[in-house]
Amino acid sequence: MKSLSNTFTEAEKKIAEFFEANIIEIPYMSVYEVAQKNGVSVPTVTRLTKKIGYGRYKDFKIDLVKDGAKVITGIFEAVSSSAGEIDREIINKVFQNSIKSLEGTKELLDFDTLAELANAIIDAGKVVFFGIGSSGYTASDAALRISHLDIQAEAYTEPIQMLLHSSRMDENCVAVGISHSGCTELTVKALHTAKENGAMTASISNYLNTPLALESDYQLCTSFTENKVSTVALSSVIAQHCIIDSLYLLLAKYLLGKQKLWEMNEVESIIEKSVRIR
């Protein structure tokens, strides 16, 4: 729901907020009760559940029951000097949130898309990463890592460099934009320019259907639940790096095996390995 929140109508946003605030009670509520409590129609509720991937409202409730034991609510909200919270509890919360982010990212990740991106990079022979701030660090790490495979890989994190080098890309390049929000103007502009020049494009962000995603041939999504602490301090960088690790291993396997990676079980095995490494 968070990944698609920017595509919701006002009524759907209201329902989504209600789901989040009442996550324990929802499995015991009918679709009619949810609609009545929020002053909306039943079709509005079912339309939202379909939009987030469920054929029926009942299927959505079943998943909530399954995941109920895993729910971590308000992980960072209690962190304050006056809360009487010991250091160990704060540290545990940091690790719990990172684990939750990785698990959520794995659920959102389209394995076929990641495999196709790996093959596109091999076919093109050159990949360029764009990112600002913490996403820039991820971009630089990705380029350095992939260059170890003897693939031409570059990263640009400064505005002038991003605009200049994106304008020089062509059909023999793959451009990858990294942005937590998916709305970073310079990164979107760089990807747009590269795409206009014929390059294949990909994005890594925390939300679906963003301006960055609209410029992407391949879209990869992380999962990081934002709370009261700014994402400037606590971002989805770990999940971003896990996706890069998976891409790196897919590229390595492709180069070593000299065969395309279309077998789902092979791709899933490699991504599982990447999650365990992280």
CATH number assigned to the domain comprising residue 46: 1.10.10.10
Model pLDDT, residue 177: 97
- The domain tally of the chain equals 2
For residues 64 and 157, membership in a common domain is answered with: no
Model pLDDT, residue 209: 80
CA dist., res. 140 & res. 259, Å (int)? 28
Q: Which residue range is the domain that position 151 belongs to?
A: 108-277
- Of 70, 88, 119, which marks where a domain is finished? 70
Q: pLDDT (tens digit, 0 to 9) for every residue of the chain, 278 residues total? A: 777 788 889 999 899 988 888 877 787 788 888 999 899 999 999 899 888 888 888 888 877 766 654 444 444 454 555 455 567 777 787 788 788 888 888 888 889 999 999 999 999 999 999 999 889 999 999 999 999 998 999 999 999 999 999 999 999 999 999 998 888 999 999 999 999 999 999 999 988 888 999 999 999 988 876 554 444 445 578 889 999 999 999 999 888 775 444 455 555 665 665 656 55
For residues 148 and 235, membership in a common domain is answered with: yes
The model's pTM is: 0.67
CA dist., res. 114 & res. 134, Å (int)? 22
For residues 64 and 165, membership in a common domain is answered with: no
Question: What is the token pair recorded at 247?
Answer: 């891409």
Tell me the C-alpha to C-alpha distance, in Å, between residue 86 and each of 72, 75, 99, 228.
18, 14, 21, 19
* Burial (CB count within 10 angstroms: exposed 0-12, middle 13-18, buried 19+), residue 250: buried
Model pLDDT, residue 277: 55
Domain annotation covers residue 31: yes
For residues 145 and 215, membership in a common domain is answered with: yes
